[in-house]
Amino acid sequence: MLHKLSIITINKNNATGLKKTCISVITQTYTDFEWIVIDGASDDGSVEIINKYEDKISYWVSEPDMGIYNAMNKGINHATGEYLLFLNSGDYLIHQWTLETIINEINDIKYGDVYYSDVLGDNYFLYKTKKDINIDFFIKNNLNHQNCLIKRSLFDKELYSENYKIISDNLFFIRMLINYNIVFSYLANPISFINGNGFSSNNKSLLRTEKLLILKDLKLTKNNLLLIHNIFIFFKRFFKFIMPYGLYKIIYTNNINEH
């Protein structure tokens, strides 16, 4: 059976987050989707959770993998939906009717705003994604796969690079722009809550290093936008260090909401 949408969830030793994601997926009012779960040989009870929801899952496997993007590519290779949504363990959809409101009139890649949690998962902050996606956007920002619907056929052109640990989803988006002139369409409704204590959030230095590597490789660092952005990051961290946390949180939250 062909579906309009494939939801792909990857997980490794995050049973608590996986349970939250499972509940979000199975309670959706829109049901014309398949759900694929790729587990990296977890030993923390994740497989027991997968077994609990097995009747709702179209395909799942628990086996060693070679990293995040290897696991995501496994999910892509098993997906039959016209569009893909990557919702990893710990991430969950905004409302139970989220899929119903975003599934229609999709172009090549449709993206929306997203909510990030703080590192403790106690509070969420809205990150408003810019409405115009171009190369300059990716020099200064990242587009999260959790708030994107991606046409499945685009992955027939190329899969996620498994040479990077964090940045390959944005490398994929940049290549879609440069090589195929793919259309990005803004979706007014936020799609998901993202776990702010995930691998990417805890490895900001690696994220910046990998971004610089791909921009150099693609010859996109000829302007000074990346340098300006890195200077901004430095001063943001400096002010966080010297400023009382409560005041910094207010300023930073306002900055995100005005993005």
For 107-119, the pLDDT digits (tens) are 899 998 888 766 5
Q: Which two tokens stand for residue 84?
A: 């893909």
pLDDT of residue 150 exceeding 70, the answer is: yes
Count: domains in the chain: 1
In a domain, 173, yes or no: yes
CA–CA gap between residue 128 and residue 35 (Å, rounded):
27
pLDDT greater at residue 138 or residue 244: 138
Split at pLDDT 50, 70, 90, the class of 251 is very low
Q: Is residue 72 part of a domain?
A: yes
The fraction of the chain above a pLDDT of 90, given in percent, is 48
Structure tokens at 107: 């172009």
pLDDT tens digit string along 63-94? 999 999 999 999 999 999 999 999 999 999 99
Counting every residue, how long is the chain? Answer: 259
Structure tokens at 229: 């952005």
Lookup: tokens for 171: 């490398």
| The pLDDT of residue 259 | 37
Q: Tokens 């409560």, residue? A: 246
Least Cα distance to 139 among 201, 222, 80, 27 occurs for 222
Residue 236 lies in a domain: no
Contact 29, 96 (CB under 8 A): yes
The single-letter code of the amino acid at 255 is N
Q: Is residue 63 part of a domain?
A: yes
Biggest distance spanned by C-alpha atoms of the chain? 57
Contact residues for 91 (Cβ-Cβ < 8 A; gap 6+):
17, 21, 146, 192, 193, 194, 195
- Inside any domain, residue 258: no
| Higher-confidence position of 244 and 20 | 20
What CATH number did the domain enclosing 204 receive?
3.90.550.10
- Domain boundaries, position 170: 5-223
The DSSP H or E segment spanning 11 is strand 5-11
State the pLDDT confidence band at 104, using cuts at 50, 70 and 90: confident
pLDDT one-digit tens code per residue, 152-162: 999 999 999 99
Q: Average of pLDDT values for 232-246? A: 55
What global pTM score does this model have?
0.81
Residue 246 falls within a domain, yes or no?
no
Structural domain contains residue 184: yes
